Amino acid sequence: MSLGNLTTLATWVAGLTMTGVTKKYDLSNIPDAMQPMDVPALLPDVPYMSNMQFTRLSYRVATVGRSKELQYDIGYVLFYAPVAQGVTLFEQYAGMADLWGVVLNAFISNETPNGAYDIYPTGTPLFGVLADAAGTPYFAVRFTLHVQEFSS
């Protein structure tokens, strides 16, 4: 089994059931700009991967049978709704918080893809307004998932 299957992991995330999330993107179809009709949407953040740490857990002469561990963080953004004139964050806050709970539950309650030992949310550096790649402001949640893969 190989380590660092980022494409497989992104496809697994896009395939999770999250009631209320209209669109989910993997690494192969990240949009240049969000469309109001496509939100709420979940997509990989840039940078997607950070804090990579590789550990060899056993030492053998042959490469077969060596135990290894790879840990890293991956970033995602939940775009909730476009910022509209006269609509404040606090008017969107309850709905965004409820949907964020649905997304969290999807990660906590699902089996991880083959090869990943553990995946869990570790941080929410932003719960507010975030611009998409085109500069359009959206109410959004930026969050980090920690991934720990194990191979022998």
Task: List, in order of start, the domains of the chain with CATH numbers.
Answer: 6-151 (3.30.2000.10)
Kindly report, residue by residue over 18-74, the tens digit of the pLDDT: 999 999 998 889 998 999 899 999 999 988 888 888 777 666 655 565 677 788 999
Q: What is the pLDDT of residue 81?
A: 93
As a whole number of angstroms, the distance between CA 119 and CA 73 comes to 9
Kindly report, residue by residue over 73-101, the tens digit of the pLDDT: 999 999 999 998 677 778 888 899 999 99
Res. 143: pLDDT tops 90: yes
As a whole number of angstroms, the distance between CA 114 and CA 28 comes to 20
Tell me the pLDDT band of 1, cut-offs 50, 70 and 90. Answer: very low
Q: Which amino acid is at 27?
A: L
Cβ neighbour number for residue 137 with a 10 Å cutoff? 13
> Could you write out the DSSP letters of every residue in 19-66?
TT--EE--TT---SS--GGG-SEEEEEEEEEEEEEEEE----SSSTT-
Question: pTM of the predicted model, to two decimals?
Answer: 0.84
Specify which of 47-56, 57-66, 110-119, 139-148 reaches the highest per-range mean pLDDT.
Answer: 139-148
Tell me the pLDDT band of 109, cut-offs 50, 70 and 90. Answer: confident
142 against 54, higher pLDDT: 142
Res. 125: pLDDT tops 60: yes
